[in-house]
Amino acid sequence: MATATLSTHIEPRLPQGGFVNEPFVDFKNPENARAMQTALAQVASQLGREYDLVIGGHRLKTAGKIKSLNPARPAQVVGVHQKAGAEHAEEAMAAALSAYETWSRTTVETRVSLLLNAAEIIKSRHYEFCAWLTYEVGKNWAEADADVGETIDFLNFYAREALRLAAATTPIQYPGERNRLIYIPLGVGAVIPPWNFPFAIMAGMTAASIVCGNTVVLKPSSDSPTIAAKFVEVLEEAGLPGGVVNFCPGSGATFGNAIVEHPKTRFIAFTGSKAVGLDIHERAARPKPGQIWIKRTILEMGGKDSMLICADADLDAAVDAVVAAAFGFSGQKCSACSRAIVEAPLYDVFVERVREKVAALKVGDPVENNNVGPVINKAALDSMLEYVETGKKEGRLIAGGHAPETADGGYYLEPTVFADIAPDAVLSQEEIFGPVLAIIKVNSYEEGLAVANNTEYGLTGAIYSANREQLDHAAQEFHVGNLYLNRKCTGAMVGAHPFGGFNMSGTDSKAGGPDYLYLFTQAKSVAEKL
């Protein structure tokens, strides 16, 4: 039986060499700094443009709009987007289903080539995409660079992983038979990414879906739809056929729920809050009339991450790491250090060193490459300020705690540190998702480890110790999906640190790891008698 082929202008090719992470940009180099400033000026001239829905390769406008705003200057519109409603869910699903019939039957080499083409395009415009991230979500230059670099890494890594998966075979060949193991695509998936890594996570979940032969309805966060629109433009330039990725910004309560609950949706890849992730999981678990499969959910839902500082730790290294992990991108990372658990002999000097280090951080517009930029929106800032008030009752405020006013009305919160926080306090247990650090005093490594494991989450963690036995013990007993020994708990690198957490942090889906693409496929065993 002949298989259908998809009309595409993608020239099949194979990756050259093994996977290597994209290097970080050194912005201390004047040439690189000038390139970033040029890109910021270039992107500034494009702010406020209107973007369409893209369904089945066709562009549509809607009556409702979503305005993406610069959190450093909320009066500045980054992009105006169409607002998909529940009425667009059927249209998007129909387009994705139609494209699936042919995309799922294209060669893996063709699908891989799409990712490789997209990676090259993004690499050639690296600074431009950094600038979009700076304007749309408030990332300073280094944070934006890491996001863009990880996007390129995901595309290149999953391209190679797809080829490896396509070459899979059974563990043995049974006598008298020809045995094959084929990983086939699932179907149409909903990809629902977050705003905090709006390029890397969005592109990574989308790329993993389509390189396996699935098609996608992509619903980006309403706080960061512009970078997703730019990525869809890149995919189109790279050869994306219509309907393989359908770009549909919209409300989670209307369009998002409609896609999650649709009987033809086969899987949902989501990164975001615990509350929304659990709601998606529950909705996906309820079968709808006409649904013939159990929907798969691939969920990453946040954390309450700890760094355990032992009495024999390298103090300078530990302080630097905690401050970097707590306040990079204003603490708006699911991997951010929100709890420093410090053994008593180091506690007082650690608190003072952190206070000094935080005092040197500059808060301001990320376009000017300040250390700490804005938080994502006013609702987030208001929530953080409520936690600050709680922290004043639960511990000792040693740094920050204020929302500085700026001429542009940006949503800023000073890097905030509370000492003497109890292990069961609100600041110790609830995810704040902002630049607020709780420091907890313990009397021993054993007590510190128990505190590190005392939340409902289990995403990232770190331990600073010179004791080999403690490091080895923590590797077994510190219950997180990503544990770091004598380094900070943020900055997972594709391929080296497969990323995903335990407990209420999600389904431990391990993005950027060797088993991630299995989640977007199903295994089919074929045995032929000879």
Residues that are catalytic: 300, 334
Q: Cα–Cα distance between 380 and 484 in angstroms, integer?
A: 28
Task: Render 336-353 in DSSP notation, one character per residue.
Answer: -EEEEEEEHHHHHHHHHH
Q: What is the DSSP letter of 216?
A: E
Q: Cα–Cα distance between 285 and 255 in angstroms, integer?
A: 18
Q: Are 331 and 294 in contact (CB under 8 A)?
A: no
| 295, two tokens | 């929907």
Q: Rg for the chain (alpha carbons), in Å? A: 23
3-state secondary structure of 73: strand
Tokens 């059927």 -> residue: 90
- For 462-528, the three-class secondary structure string (H helix, E strand, C coil) is EEECCCHHHHHHHHHHCCCCEEEECCCCCCCCCCCCCECCEECCECCCCECCCCHHHHHEEEEEEEE
Task: Render 385-440 in DSSP notation, one character per residue.
Answer: HHHHHHHHHHSEEEE-------TT-------EEEES--TTSHHHHS---SSEEEEE
* Region at 130 (left for phi over 0; alpha for psi -120 to 50; beta for the rest): alpha
Q: Cα–Cα distance between 510 and 519 in angstroms, integer?
A: 10
